[in-house]
Structure 1
Amino acid sequence: MATKASITGAAAAAGGGAPLLNPYVTDAPLTPANFQKLRQRWKATVTGKYMRVTSDDVYFALSKLSGTAEQYIANMQPSRIHIWEDLSPIHLSVNFRKSYERLRTIAQSYSIPGSIHYHDLNVQETVIQSLDFIGSEIYNASVVQAKGENWWNFRIGAPLALVDIAILLYDDLTPRRRHEIGATIVKNIGSIGQRSLKGANRADICLALIGAGVITNEEAEVSRGRWCLSDKEYDGENSIFQLVRSGEGLYEGGSYLSHEIFPYSGGYGVQHYYSLSKAVNVLSKSPYYINSTELEVTFAAINSTFSPVMWRGMMMAHIRGRDISRKSEPDAFWGNLFLQSLLYFADTELVPRKNRRFFKSLARSIWEAAPLPDLYGLNITQAFGMQKVLEERIPPAAPPLGTFATPMSDRLMHHRPEWAAALAMSSSRIGRYEALNHENLKPWYQGDGFLYVYTDKDPLHFSNDYWPTMDPYHTPGVTNGQNPQGPPAYKFTAHRDWAGGLDWRGTHGLAGLDALSTDKGSSAKKSWFFLLNSIIALGAGCAGLSGTEVHTTYESRNLPSAGSNFSINGEYQIMNPGWIKPWEETHQRVDWAYLDSFGGYVFLDKEPVTFKHEKRKGKWTDINQYPDYLGFSDAITREYLTIYRNHGIDPKDGRYAYALLPSSSPDDTRKFATKPPINVTHNTQRLQAIQFNNTVMANFWSSGTIGYLTAVTPCSITWGHSGVEDKYLTISVSDPTQKATRIVLFLNDPDIGGVVEKDDSIQLRWGRAGETGSVTITVNVEGAHGKTHRVSFERISWRGTLDNLPWRPPSNEITTSTTTTASGHVRPAATKKPLANNTTVTSTKIGSKPSPAKPKASVVGNASLGAAKPGPAKTKSKPVATKSGSGTAVKPGHATVKSSLGTIKSSPRTIKPGPSTVKSSLATVESSLASAKSSPTSLKPTGAVESSPGAVDSTVATSTEPEPTIEASN
């Protein structure tokens, strides 16, 4: 047993009446009354706190529980090898574990007033005889796990079910039976000191161990279970109350990983919270309580890790791993389990009052938003908990809104009032998919840019037998060859580093993926731009080596049983439900399409698009052969609409550009297609970017320039106007490769003034002492794990004059030296030009009131895209000459940029040189600028941008060697 330590009065006083950390044990051991209280609280977590039934959810849950228990009882066929014939032979771990779970359901029905089995002695005797049979023949303190058996059944699944049964029937069991049950659980759990025991598995095992002690009145087991949660044996190294840096558990930035490399906040993460919340609730009235100080990380993750991956009360599929292949555990099942965790926390007096109220508010939000009666109803514990919340009239919490990037798990979520999207990517850090224990058998492209879109038009789309009937070779958002794939492997990551993105002002999002398929048979550079009413998808370098066609799937929609109207360019197609003959056709030029159960599709590049309407058949056992789910072998038929681009057989540089408009109307879709409110400025293997209003979003796959901004190193970046009346210019940048040490940017914009705010990771080097407009931005991204970095500048045209700025670069700040052109003349300042097709404003002098210019015909202002007011005021002024240290008059421009490069290279103490790729990029940019210097007439203005979509900017600094489009197989 752990060393005892008492709670002193001084310690209590220091914590304001409670100790900051709970001791291992109190001097006074647990009394029989303590154990009785623990059993009462545990029983309440299984049956719910009984109260007057006023809720339809309670009636539904109680009826469902009683009906299921009655079915289990009626189907019992006891023999020497099984209790239920479909769970035979019972000596297999999956079968005795499932037998315990059925007995728990029967014991619940026996224990809850209002059930048809409440205190039925025949039911009681049936359960006890079944426990004796399994305990004497199959699962006991002498059992040895057979080779090839799933350890989880022995150490977690069976113990957790057995604890619940024993506590529900505690007064009906003899002391000998209780002791045998406790000894069986403790023996099969085994050692809990492994460093590998983390996250959900640690929480589950600790909970089972606490339960064993509660059953047998053994304080030692309660103590071991409690302190294993904190991992006292290894000084908290694997404590589930802390963020982790490897293995399973909560990570910084909203990620939850399981099995080291799989995003799993909607599966293992929820299980982690369920078992922890139950332990917190049960122990709260004992000396082994879990202090709220220890739960700070746990509570913070509710907003950062779990709420963003929920939609309408359901856990999104992109963070559920192999659980998506389980018919009995749909997305709402995991949503309900998370709701139950919130209710357990909210019912714990040690949790601060403000937290408890928030948890109830969030639980109500989940309950109100979910289509639960149609999908997966609340169980009895959840139903009683929600009845109490409703009686307290606690209002629902606001649902998540905006963009949520979790770079540690290569995931991005985007929430709008009527729809939501989730993007699943993979990299050299994160696995493509999880296929384990013969589950999830067709997962090949689930981590290659799978874009899940949820809409109010069809909220049960992914729950309507989607997974056994979907086409795994046409996964929405993915570019892949059509060659057959072999059996899935387990636990491997993707081939390339780039996977990630950022959020812009919390409302917009940008993501990019350097995709190379598992078999290296297809590849592409892919970008997604998440806006307020649309998602823009760009692809370049779509290539293949498999000898088959390479397709990019825009959509593969599971149509509702009632059917859904579909139109192309406003012309409706025949898609009546129950039709027999499928159709597939390619349209050479199509502008837009519309599906009633989804919304709109706009094809931005006017390239050929293929539409396919078909019936698809499947069975759940096609994707899950684990014994738990072999009963789900009924044939299923669903209708699908698939939209894709055929790049041809083994293409070299295929491209695509399209927009999704979820929950939009046909008229809105047509207007978007006629006058797109966004401009695709670049779509190449080196740079993919869009511009709308006064905002630019770009993935720089290599160094390049857009407008006034040059990226020396690859990065994801978004910049544009922000703040009230667009008074600031804000830049957000990230390193999706998570391999760089620094990102270097050059901004030469006459409209930028002083810094409003910046992250500590950002360093600025101004081009001229005491003045603004030219700045080198260096972002330290080493160890940042792909997170977003931000800096905001005040716009001079908004303020009026430079003198009115609240802050100016101090004259003693490190600045760059300047040089003149080869001819000795000062190069005139670059005329400020807008991005292609952008709305601009001009003024005659500094400080004059901006007046908007008329927008070009090809651009439509759209408030729902985040439209800002007309752009910044232009200032026309003569070039201002300054004197360098040598007395030579200069004007900042490309020469200044070159000088900035020289300073970076010559000042290693100021800026540590980056990796070789950064050095190469710097040298290339310097060479380009030197060439421009010798031929000033051929140099483009700094702000110039190619106006045609897809054109490569002439100022992009790149290697002359062609970039390989695909890797060869080993």
Structure 2
Amino acid sequence: MEISRRRLLSAMSAMSVASATSATSVLSAAGLMAVVPAGPASAVAGAEGRARLVANTVAVFAGTAESNARPETAAKLAAMERTARANLKAMDDAREGELFAGLVLGTDEANLNTAYRRLYEIALATRAPGLPADLYGSTTVQRRALDGLAWLHERHYGDQSKGYYGNWFHWEIGISQHISKTLVLLADAVSAHRPALLPTYVASMDAYLRNGTDGDVDLDSRFHTGANLADITTNRILQGALLGEPGEARIRKALTDQLTVFATIDPYRLEHGVTDGHYADGSFIQHSSVAYTGSYGKGLLTRVVQTLKILDGTGFAHGEELVPTVYGWVRNGFAPLIFEGWMMEIVKGRAVSRPDSGYTDVATVVEAVVDLSSLASGPTATALKSYVKHVRTASRAPLDPARFVSPVSVVRYADILDDTAVPPADLNPAARSVAFNAMDRTVHRRPGYAFALARSSDRVSKYEYMNGENLMPWFQGDGAYYLYLSGQDQSRAYGVDHYTTVSPYGLAGVTAPVEQRRTVPELYGKPYYDNPGHPLGFTPSSESQNKYVYFPRGTNRFSGGAVLGAYGAAGMVQSSDVAYRDRALLPDDFVVHRAATATKSWFLFDDEIVVLAADVGDAAGRAVTTTVDARTAAPDDRISLTGALRDGRPWTGPGTADLHWLRYANTTEGTAVGYVFLDTPKVRVTLDEVTRSRRVVRTANPDAPVTRSVLGVTVDGTAGARPARLAYALVPNAGEAGLRAHRHGPLKVLANSRRLQAVTHTGLGLTAANAFTGGRHEAGGLRVHGPASVLVQRGGHRGGTVHGGTVRVAVSDPTMDRDTVTVLLRGRSLRGSAGDPQVRVDRVPGGTRIEVDTHHAYGRSFTVTLTE
């Protein structure tokens, strides 16, 4: 279910002036979770609801007697016990001025956050049924945790004039999260032994919410959006539950604020200027312009599902209306990005440099899906449970439920796996092509592989760097792509070790100038650019820091594509970022980078991904390289490289050659990928063993060497040479015979220039084109009034889904600026038999004209079926 932000805020506005009855009905009619209004009749229910909310929260994090008695939770409980005992020992070993041995406080806010987390972990053990009696229910241990809270407040937290150094997130979200949960877990002990601790801490937490208004959420604040807003409001819900009747207003206000994260972002009618959140096409944005489903997105999913669980039966809200919305996030936003239990790199922002793998990311999503299934009913519940089973079955890495947050979730997960009435089933169809145009990402899936593409534009960031994470990100949004092969351990092919051992200039799909760039810490001696006296005001979390350092956008408009059934086309004009554009406005010591030039298309079929590149060069005269692919493998994997030259002779090994095709096979993993060079200059092939420290991509990573076998398939350009063009196809799971057969089709390049790129696939009866500039563009019986992205499929094909005499057409506007796009199909006149209402079909001399209303479509594809 899609909820518009305008519809949601209109309902909230009506609620503010409505009676108790009408307020509930307004929100329910809008399809939103109804925040039950306060009133005299709800006073008793409010007290009971607060108690239920506290009890639910304890159950979520500590488990219940029933859940913790199950054998499946034994590993989870053992981990809780080990952690609590280690933290208690660190308290025992602490010296003067320390709360935990060796944890230095007073200058490092991350250490203060760690101290609060450790107190939460101790408190958690005292509320987890099934743990030994010296922990579970121990008032002695609970008092030690409370004493620790008091100690930290007195020395390091209570004086706001000394606090709030370093990362704002710790002060406004992370620390408050640990404190709020600890106070909930120890609510009875607080009341009995330290009643002043609760109001004291709540007042301090409000004081640290400096990016809000008067210690509360500010929906106009750029810090209070998306996953961050969900975290802040959940913290305030817990605080309100502890404060008694005066806390009810806090609960209701927090719920009303949190409702905004469920609204589908309408980019043409932004509320509070917020671009963070879920879009109609399944995209998720955080930090204003970063594609972030795989990090902040999973954090938001986790938090809202937890909130629905802690509100269950409290009377403060009716959350069942939101389950279809969250299910839509999972089905259309998360599932396309998860391949065989691995979260794709293209939606992780700076988190790509962290040692946690894509399998770990997906385990977090699975826990949320498990819990969401318990809140759903009917076919939705079954689909969610089936997806959980599918991920378990498809993943190459075992999912460890002991890492779930909740013991109750561990039990639910076990019950789903044991339920023979629930079959494993993916939420993705076997063949799926998804244009996440709102976040400049494309995913193309087939049995046996998935292809993921990262684009950028003046709407979406080229990359994200922050806090010493993702130190060499410069080209990650310049058409970098990732080809995931079925059956392989993705952690050996991708993940942090991929970025560690593959050159940042040599990521697959990237056209980069031949130069050496320095990281932000190398340039400025700290993890950010510091110049508060400049008119742009560069400080760690300033808007200028975000715009020019942390996640700069591109300057191009054309980035997008169309989808026709399970086929797709995508295109992008590569650009420099906003820092290079605005270099005259920036300080003299601020380093900017100029991008190479390239106009690129990706045409997504069944067995091939065709890549065209034109205007490949550099206006500054530098040499450039374009990487066809970069693949990593474990150093002991057996790698085979075979190929043929364009004149038919066998390829004899690594080096530069005029290749017709190349095949890379990892015989240890049982995977292979082929490359067919349709119209490409000489190709340089390298296969090297590379050893580097993970610290080259993230300063906080362990300084331990990582070794990978690295394949590089590259086309080199000469400094000052005329712009070049390339045309090649990636062929997943290719055999040598199939690669040789491509000499006779089925792929044909129809056009490859900076104005128009087009190909046809004769076996599929499919023509795809990207027109990058205005005016008329002709290719393969197709006239496109650009800019536009178009796919046309004529007649039957081997898949059997299109019948003779039928033509299907898909059209989109990748600039997101146009009101109409017009396409002419030459040949016999056709009539429209089915399609989107935004499409108009007219018979004209010489063919059929299709006019598409793309006004405010934000890159959406419109389709029509034509018949004779």
Equivalent residues in 2 for 1:780-819 (5 A)?
780-794=853-867, 796=868
- After superposition, the C-alpha distances for 1:904-931 in whole angstroms (9 at most, x for unaligned) are xxxxxxxxxxxxxxxxxxxxxxxxxxxx
Residue pair 1:24, 1:227 contacting (<8 A) in 2 also: no
Residues of 1 paired with 2:597 and 2:759: CA distance?
A: 22
Matched, 1:139 2:212: no
Q: Which runs of 5+ in 1 are unaligned?
A: 572-582, 797-970
Q: CA 1:169–1:353 in structure 2 vs 1: closer, same or farther (change >3 Å)?
A: farther
- Paired positions, count: 762
8 Å contact from structure 1 (residues 712, 745) kept in 2: yes
Matched, 1:634 2:661: no
Query: C-alpha displacement at 1:207, in angstroms?
Result: 0.2
For 1:483 and 1:377, how far apart are their aligned partners in 2?
Answer: 46
1:695-732 deviation line (CA, Å, top 9, x unaligned): 11111224321233211222111101365524420111
1:321 aligned residue:
349
Contact conserved, 2:33 with 2:317, CA < 8 A, in 1?
no
Structure 1 Cα separation of the partners of residues 199 and 17 of structure 2:
25
1:93 aligns with 2:109: yes
Partner of residue 728 from structure 2, selected from 646, 658, 669: 658
1:551-574 CA distance string (max 9 Å, x none): 111122121243131212289xxx
State which of 302, 308, 311 in structure 2 corresponds to 1:283.
311
Separation in structure 2 between the aligned mates of residue 56 and residue 618 of structure 1, nearest angstrom: 42
Q: Is 1:224 the equivalent of 2:250?
A: yes
Partner of 1:503: 563
Query: What per-residue deviation string (whole Å, max 9, x for no partner) do you get for residues 785-810 of structure 1?
Result: 1111112111x3xxxxxxxxxxxxxx
Superposed CA deviations along residues 328-381 of structure 1, whole A, max 9, x for unmatched, are x43233322222222333333xx5444334333333333333344388963252
Show the counterpart of 1:719: 792
Distance 1:733 1:53, change over 3 A: same
Q: Aligned-pair distance for 1:740? A: 2.4
Match of 2:328 among 300, 312, 316: 300
Q: 1:28 aligns with which of 42, 59, 74?
A: 42
Query: Which one of the candidate residues 601, 606, 617 is aligned to 2:691?
Result: 617
Q: Aligned partners of 1:592 and 1:279: how far apart in 2? A: 52
What SS does structure 2 have at the residue aligned with 1:661?
Answer: strand
- How far is 1:534 from its partner? 2.3
CA distance in 1, matches of 2:694, 2:820: 48
- 1:95 Cα shift? 1.4
Question: What SS does the aligned partner of 1:736 have?
Answer: coil
Matched residue, 2:241? 214
**Higher helix fraction (1 or 2):** 2
Aligned equivalents of 1:587, 1:699: Cα separation in 2: 30
1:11–1:19: 8 Å Cα contact kept in structure 2?
no
Change (3 A) 1:310 1:226: farther
Q: 1:359 to 1:185 in 2, by over 3 A?
A: farther
- 1:383 partnered with 2:410: yes
Counterpart code for 1:240: F
Structure 1 pair 712–438 and aligned structure 2 pair: CA distance change class (3 A): same
Among 158, 163, 175, the alignment partner of 2:175 is 158
Give 1 or 2 for the bigger CA radius of gyration.
Answer: 1
Q: Which residue of 2 aligns with 1:267?
A: 295
Structure 1 match to 2:512: 480
| Equivalence map 1:164-243=2 (5 Å) | 164-173=181-190, 174=193, 175-189=195-209, 190-196=215-221, 197-217=224-244, 219-231=245-257, 238=260, 240-243=262-265
- Per-residue CA distance 1:811-837 (angstroms, 9 max, x = gap): xxxxxxxxxxxxxxxxxxxxxxxxxxx
1:306, distance to aligned residue in structure 2 (A): 1.7
State the distance in 2 between where 1:90 and 1:631 align: 23
Equivalent residue in structure 2 for 1:544, among 593, 605, 618: 618
Q: Tell me by how many angstroms 1:285 deviates.
A: 0.8
**Post-superposition shift, 1:212?**
0.8
Kindly state the Cα deviation for residue 497 of structure 1 after the two structures are TM-superposed: 1.1
Kindly report which structure 2 residues correspond to 1:187-586, keeping only aligned pairs within 5 A, or say none: 187-189=207-209, 190-196=215-221, 197-217=224-244, 219-231=245-257, 238=260, 240-245=262-267, 246-294=274-322, 296-327=324-355, 329-348=356-375, 351-373=376-398, 378-379=403-404, 381=406, 382-393=409-420, 394-401=422-429, 402-455=432-485, 456-460=487-491, 461-463=493-495, 465-487=497-519, 489-505=549-565, 507-518=566-577, 519-545=593-619, 548-569=622-643, 585-586=655-656
> Is residue 550–residue 646 contact of structure 1 (8 Å, CA) maintained in 2?
yes
C-alpha spacing 1:614/1:761, structure 2 compared with 1 (3 Å): same
Alpha-carbon distance in 1 for matches of 2:596, 2:26: 65
* Distance in 2 between residues matched to 1:469 and 1:81, nearest whole Å: 42
Conserved 8 A contact 2:357-2:496: no
User: Does residue 1:688 correspond to 2:757, yes or no?
Assistant: yes
Residue 857 of structure 2 aligns to a residue in which SS? coil
RMSD: 3.2
The change in CA–CA distance for 1:303 and 1:374 in structure 2 (over 3 A counts) is closer
C-alpha contact 1:81 1:90 (8 A) present in aligned 2: no
Contact 2:50 2:241 (C-alpha < 8 Å) held by counterparts? yes
Q: Could you tell me which amino acid in structure 1 is paired with residue 52 of structure 2?
A: K
TM-score, structure 2 length as denominator?
Answer: 0.81
In 2, the alpha carbon distance for the partners of 1:9 and 1:496 equals 47
Match of 1:38 among 53, 76, 79: 53
**Correspondence 1:826-841 to 2 at 5 A:** none
User: Which amino acid in 2 is paired with 1:386?
Assistant: Y
- Asked if the contact 2:623/2:720 (under 8 Å) is kept, the reply is yes
1:40-94 per-position Cα deviation (integer Å, ceiling 9, x unaligned): 2111221344546798864444444444444444445424544345542245322
Distance 1:757 1:443 in 2: 45
Cα contact 2:24–2:35 (8 A) shared by 1: no
Work out whether residues 321 and 434 of structure 1, in 8 Å CA contact, stay in contact via their aligned partners in 2: yes
Say if 1:157 and 1:733 are closer, same or farther in 2 by CA, change over 3 A. Answer: same
- Conservation of the 8 A alpha-carbon contact between 2:56 and 2:309: yes
Kindly provide the CA deviation profile for residues 622-678 of structure 1, in whole angstroms up to 9, marking residues without a partner as x. 3234xxxx362333333312111112224322122222222x153454344454432
In the alignment, residue 95 of structure 1 is paired with which amino acid? N
**Distance (whole Å) between structure 2 residues aligned to residue 64 and residue 274 of structure 1:** 21
Could you tell me how far 1:405 is from its partner in structure 2?
A: 0.6
1:289 deviates by 1.5
Q: Distance in 1 between matches of 2:696 and 2:79?
A: 28
Residues 267, 213 of structure 1: alpha-carbon distance in 2 compared, 3 angstrom cutoff: same
The equivalences for 1:106-117 within 5 A come to 106-115=122-131
With over 3 angstroms needed to count, the CA separation of the structure-2 counterparts of 1:425 and 1:165, relative to structure 1, is same
Distance 1:55 1:476, change over 3 A: farther
Indicate the residue corresponding to 1:843 in structure 2.
none
Over 3 Å counting, the alpha-carbon distance change for 1:171 and 1:569 in structure 2 is: same
The share of aligned pairs that are identical, in percent, is 23
Are residues 229 and 22 of structure 1, via their aligned partners in 2, closer, same or farther at CA, if it must alter by over 3 Å?
Answer: closer
Provide the rounded CA distance (Å) in 2 between the counterparts of 1:734 and 1:646. Answer: 33
CA separation in 1, counterparts of 2:170 and 2:854?
A: 43
Corresponding residue for residue 737 of structure 1: 815
Q: Deviations over 1:460-516 (max 9, x none)?
A: 2223633333311101111111211244522321121111111121x1111111113
2:779 maps to which residue? 706
Flag the 1:133–1:466 CA change in 2: closer, same or farther, 3 A: farther
Instruction: Flag the 1:299–1:222 CA change in 2: closer, same or farther, 3 A.
Output: farther
Distance 1:782 1:279 in 2: 37
